[in-house]
């Protein structure tokens, strides 16, 4: 459940009075996400989403909030369907509620999917490319705090207990980290990436993308790395078998909007390995260090272990279904 901070009608009413918005009718907590408290706000006009940013171990760094909210404003103004931060009467998009930073954003229609189909994969591939193009003029940069340096840091912190998650995991991860670090590409096209565009962060209507959400890992990095994250998130089935039909659709959708360079295509296998390592290290660390009484159950790291085992045998982007 993602409602860590409780609010009442009086508290919310005082907060809403800071905005030029229709009258508040009702609100309810949203049981989704793992970092912040989220509420659906109903007014006599549009609906909104209220996010209270929590001061937790996995929470958003308050210093990064202007970047995230500014990015969403920029993308929305450039045709990307994403939550648009609402300005208060003082012209600010970041406020405070219950002694915590808070923001109000527009509500997006549509629903996410647990089991994406190839047409949805193609549509979201195109949407990612559109995001990359729309982000090109965004002037503020934020480093990727979940990049290769962090993978090594988290692995070393987890190495002694890694085999609790899967026998032999520590040795396997050590070997794979060395392989990935040695081959990690340089000089590829960079820009704004979402860095967490999993199926639950994409809304669809009739197989068309109606919204992209949760930009709280967005940063500046290699554009093709963002696509590699999606190969891992969208193109493996529940049994962690790779679905090349979905991968072919995802890549074709992306290329239909932003054709990849030869260097990006050549680097895709190692980028996919790195993307798998990124989520393997963070999930392993969270799984080994889950606090007593935690409201959120850590995700199983072995799902990304199996993805990484697949990627180590990939020889070219053709193995992902990339045509031409």
Q: Quick: pLDDT tens for 111-126.
A: 999 999 999 999 999 9
Give Cα 192 to chain centroid, integer Å.
Answer: 12
Q: 118-320, what's its fold? A: Aminoglycoside 3'-phosphotransferase; Chain: A, domain 2 (3.90.1200)
Domain ranges for the chain: 9-106, 118-320
Nearest to 68 by CA among 201, 216, 220: 216
Instruction: Annotate 60-80 with b (16+ C-beta within 10 A) or e (fewer).
Output: beeebbebbbbbbbbbbeeeb
Cβ-based neighbours of 289, under 8 Å, separated by 6 or more: none
Same fold? 9-106, 118-320: no
Residue range 179-221, pLDDT digits in tens: 999 999 999 999 999 999 999 999 999 989 999 999 999 999 9
Q: Sort strands 47-52 and 95-97 into parallel, antiparallel or unpaired.
A: unpaired
Nearest to 200 by CA among 310, 120, 287: 120
By CB atoms closer than 10 A (0-12, 13-18, 19+), residue 202 is: buried
Give 306-313 contacts, CB < 8 A, sequence gap 24+.
306/240, 307/232, 307/236, 307/240, 307/276, 307/280, 308/176, 308/273, 308/276, 308/277, 308/280, 309/172, 310/236, 310/240, 310/242, 311/269, 311/272, 311/273, 311/276, 312/176, 312/179, 312/273
Q: 9-106, what's its fold? A: Phosphorylase Kinase; domain 1 (3.30.200)
Residue 136 and residue 243: Cα distance in Å, rounded?
Answer: 31
Q: Sort strands 100-106 and 37-43 into parallel, antiparallel or unpaired.
A: unpaired
Dihedral of alpha carbons 100, 51, 126, 117, sign: positive
Dihedral of alpha carbons 221, 285, 178, 274, sign: negative
Nearest to 198 by CA among 230, 221, 225: 230
pLDDT tens across the length of the chain (324 residues):
455 788 999 999 999 999 999 999 999 998 765 678 899 999 999 999 999 998 755 568 889 999 999 999 999 999 999 999 999 999 999 999 999 999 999 999 999 999 999 999 999 999 999 999 999 999 999 999 999 999 999 999 999 999 999 999 999 999 999 999 999 999 999 999 999 999 999 999 998 999 999 999 999 999 999 999 999 999 999 999 999 999 999 999 999 999 999 999 999 999 999 999 999 999 999 999 876 655 566 788 999 999 999 999 999 999 999 976
């Amino acid at each position: 459940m993602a409602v860590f901070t409780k609010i009442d009608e009086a508290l919310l009413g005082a907060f809403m009075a800071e905005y030029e918005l229709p009258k508040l009718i009702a609100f309810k907590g949203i049981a989704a996400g793992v970092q912040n408290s989220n509420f659906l706000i109903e007014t006599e006009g549009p609906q909104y989403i209220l996010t209270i940013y929590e001061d937790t171990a996995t929470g958003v760094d308050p210093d990064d909030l202007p970047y995230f909210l500014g990015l969403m404003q920029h993308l929305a103004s450039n045709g990307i369907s994403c939550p648009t931060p609402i300005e208060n009467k003082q012209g600010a998009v970041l406020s405070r509620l219950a002694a915590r930073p808070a923001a109000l954003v527009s509500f997006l229609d549509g629903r996410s999917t647990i089991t994406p189909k190839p047409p949805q994969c193609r549509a979201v591939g195109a949407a990612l490319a559109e995001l990359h193009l729309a982000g090109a003029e965004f002037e503020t940069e934020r480093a990727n705090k979940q990049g290769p340096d962090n993978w090594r840091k988290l692995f070393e912190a987890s190495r002694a207990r890694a085999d609790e998650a899967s026998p032999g995991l520590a040795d396997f991860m050590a070997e794979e980290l060395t392989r990935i670090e040695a081959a990690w590409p340089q000089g590829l096209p960079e820009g704004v990436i979402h860095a967490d565009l999993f199926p639950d962060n994409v809304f669809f209507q009739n197989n068309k993308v109606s919204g992209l959400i949760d930009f709280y890992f967005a940063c500046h990095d290699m554009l093709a790395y963002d696509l590699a994250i999606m190969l891992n998130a969208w193109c493996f089935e529940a049994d962690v078998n790779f679905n090349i039909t979905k991968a072919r659709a995802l890549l074709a959708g992306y290329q239909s909007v932003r054709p990849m360079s030869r260097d990006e295509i050549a680097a895709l296998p190692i980028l996919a390995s790195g993307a798998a390592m990124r989520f393997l290290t963070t999930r392993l660390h969270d799984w080994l260090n889950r606090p007593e009484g935690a409201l959120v159950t850590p995700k199983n790291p072995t799902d990304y272990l199996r993805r990484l085992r697949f990627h180590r045998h990939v020889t070219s982007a053709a193995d992902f279904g990339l045509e031409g």
